[in-house]
Chain A
Amino acid sequence: MTVANNASSDRAVGPAINRTLVTGVIGSDTHIVGNRILALALEKAGFRVVSLGALTPAADFIKAAIETAADAILVSSLYGQGELDCRGFRDQCIETGLEEILLYVGGNLVVGKRSWEETEKTYLAMGFDRAFPPGTRTEQVIQSLNKDFAARAAGERIAR
C-alpha cells in the first residue's frame, strides 16, 4: 500500500468526516487482506468503519447498515462470483428502507475476458453508485467518498 502525501486524498473532508461505512467481503469469498487494508485506511482517514470481514452474506451488510445508521456500504469481491452475490443488493436496500445509501463495489468483479467498461456498466445497472477495478488505491476510494458526500450535501445523488 502506498502512503499518499496529498492531504485531500487521504483524509475525509467536509461532509465526509465521521460518516459511517459498512464494509466486508461478500459471498463465499475468503480474500480478506485487501478489504482489511481498505478498512484500516478508511478508519485512519476519519471515517467510522464497521468491518464485517470475509464470507459475509449480502443480508448481513444490510442488517449492519440499519443498526449503525451507515451512510455507505463498500462491498469487496475478489473471487469472480461477485455478480451472483451482488444481484439484487440495491433492491434489498430499498426493501429495508435504505433507498438512499451510497453503494460501492470493488475487486475482481468478474472472471473471464470482459472489459472493465462492460463490468462497470453491469454493476452500475445493479444499482451500485460506483464500481472499482482491481488495483484501485485506497486514496482513490477516499477521494470518491469525499466527492460523493459533498455532492449529497448539495442535494445530488453522487458527484459526476
Chain B
Amino acid sequence: MSNALLIDFGSTYTKLRAFDLDARHLLATAQGPSTVTTDITIGMDLALKDLARKLGRMPKFKYRVACSSAAGGLKMVTIGLVKELTAEAARQAALGAGAKLVGTFSYRLTAQDVANIEALEPDIILLAGGTDGGNAEVVLHNAERLAKSSLVCPIIVACNRDVAEDIAKSLSAAGKPAILTENVMPSFGTLNIEPARVAIRQVFIDRIVHAKGIDKAAMMFDAVMMPTPAAVLEGARLLAEGTEQQKGLNDLLIVDIGGATTDVHSVAAGAPAREGVVQYGLPEPYLKRTVEGDLGMRHNARTIVETAGFVRFAARAGLSEGTLQAKLDEIVQDVERLPQSPEDVALDEALAWMAVRTAVVRHAGTTERVQTAHGPVIMQRGKDLSGVKTVIGTGGPLAHGATPASALKAVLADPADPFSLCPVSPALYIDTDYVLYAAGLLSTVEPDSALALALGSLRPIQDERRIHEPDPQSA
C-alpha cells in the first residue's frame, strides 16, 4: 500500500492531505497552525499529530511533497518597458508562477523607483523590456540602476536577447544573483512566459525555500515544489487537460476566495466565441491567474462593500445600514472572526458574492462595439470565457459557507449585459476537501492519481436559490 502526503505551508495553517495511491482515495485531511515565523517544524508536528489521530496510525508515505505561501508568499517585483506590452507580459509570468506581486514597474526606473523596490524587499525581481532586436536602451538603463542598488535578491533576466547576456553578466559582477532566461515577449504581441515561469519556480526551490526557513522542516518532507498558488494552477491545468489515461474537463474557471485576496484561475484559450469579433491587445495566457488584493473577505471587507456601493450592498445582504456598519467595524477589529449570528452569515454571503463577481469580471475579457464605415464591429480584449462549462469554487467561504451556490453563481454572465464574457451556463462545483493544491503537487509525480484526487473532491452544487438566495429583483 502506498500513500502520498501533500503539504501546504500556508500563512495561517499548515495543511495536510493524505492520499491512498492504490485505492485512489483521500485518506484524511489535517491541519496545524503556521509557525514559519518561529519554527516551521512546530506547526508541521501538530498537523502530523492531527493526521495520526484521525487515521488512528501514521501511514508510510511514498511521496511527501509540499508547496508554500508562508512567510509572505513569493514576493515579486516585475519590470518591463511599455506598460501594456513587456511589463504586462512580465506581470503575467510572475502571476502564473504563483508569485505575490508587490510592485510592477515600466519605462525607465528612476532613483525613487529603485528606492521603492528596495523598500518592497522582493524575493525575486523579473526584469523584462524590449522585443528581441527591439529596444535595448531602457532595459540596459534599468539593469544599471538595479546593479547599483542595495538589492540582494535574485534577478531573472527575460528581456531583449540582444542585451540579455550582457545584463546578466553585469548584474552578477555587481554581486546580484542573475538568472538568464528567454524573453517574455520575443516578438511584438507574442507572449512567451513559460521559460520565465520555470526560472521563477527554480529560484523558488533553490533559494527562497531556504531563505524563508521552510527547509528547517526538511526531515519531514521530500521537497517543496512550488508556491501554493502555482500548485493550485497546476491542479487546474490537470483537471482541464486530463492525463494520457483519462480525459479532463476541458476549459474551466476556478475561484478561490481567501481572507486577504480573491484569486481567479482560468484554463482556456479564450478566443472569440462569436463570429466577426475582432480580438485586439496582447494575447493572454492559456493558464491565466489573477489576484485581487482588494477583495479579501476579511482584510478588505470594507473595500468590497464600497465597490458595490454601501446602500446597494446593504440591500443585497438584507441588513440595515446601521447593522452593516456595525458588522464591518467588528470585522476590522478581528479579521479571524467566524460568522456567529444569522446577520454574520448574511454579510459573509454577500461579501463572497460581491468578491466573486468583481474578481471574475476583472479576470474575463471585455468587448466593446466600435462603429465603422461598414457598420458596427465588436472588439474583444482579453479572454472570452462565455463558453466555459466548468466553474469550481475553492477556499473557506465557498467550501464551508452556508450557501456556496449563491456566492459561486456570481461568476455567471449578467443577462442584462450582452457584452459580458463571463461563463453563461457552466456546471458549478465546490472543491469540498480543498485538494486542488494537493492535486497540483501530486501531478508532478503521479498525474493519474492526482486527477482522481481532484475529481473526488468536486461536489456539484444544487440550486439553493429557492431556499436561501434573496429574490434577484431586490438585489
Contacts and interface: CB of A to CB of B under 8 A. Distances in A.
Interface string B68-86: 0000000000000110111
B124 to A, nearest CB: 23
A60 to B, nearest CB: 8
A28 B135 contact: no
Nearest to B376: A28
A68 B188 contact: yes
Contact of A68 (B131, B280, B372): B131
Interface in A45-89: 48, 50, 53-56, 60, 63-64, 66-70, 79-81
A29 interface: yes
B2 to A, nearest CB: 51
Nearest to B281: A60
Interface in A8-29: 20, 22, 28-29
A64 B374 contact: no
B133 A68 contact: yes
A133 B379 CA distance: 29
A67 B85 contact: yes
Size range of the chain A interface in the assembly: 20 to 34
B245 interface: no
A107 to B, nearest CB: 13
Nearest to A59: B84
Contact of B130 (A29, A60, A67, A79): A67
B278 A20 contact: no
A109 to B, nearest CB: 14
B373 A20 contact: no
B188 A64 contact: yes
Task: Give the interface SS of chain B, mostly helix, strand, loop or mixed.
Answer: loop
A67 B133 contact: no
Residue of B134, B371, B377 with highest tally of chain A CB at under 10 A: B134
B136 interface: yes
B372 A66 contact: no
A92 interface: no
Residue of A50, A56, A66, A68 with highest tally of chain B CB at under 10 A: A68
A29 B133 contact: no
B138 to A, nearest CB: 8
B373 A29 contact: yes
B40 to A, nearest CB: 43
Contact of A63 (B85, B130, B373): B85
A55 B135 CA distance: 25
A30 interface: yes
Interface of B: 81-82, 84-86, 130-131, 133-137, 185, 187-189, 278, 280, 370-374, 377, 379
23 contacts: A22-B188, A28-B370, A28-B371, A28-B372, A28-B373, A30-B374, A50-B187, A53-B280, A55-B278, A55-B280, A55-B370, A55-B372, A55-B377, A56-B280, A63-B84, A64-B85, A67-B130, A67-B135, A68-B133, A68-B134, A69-B134, A79-B373, A80-B373
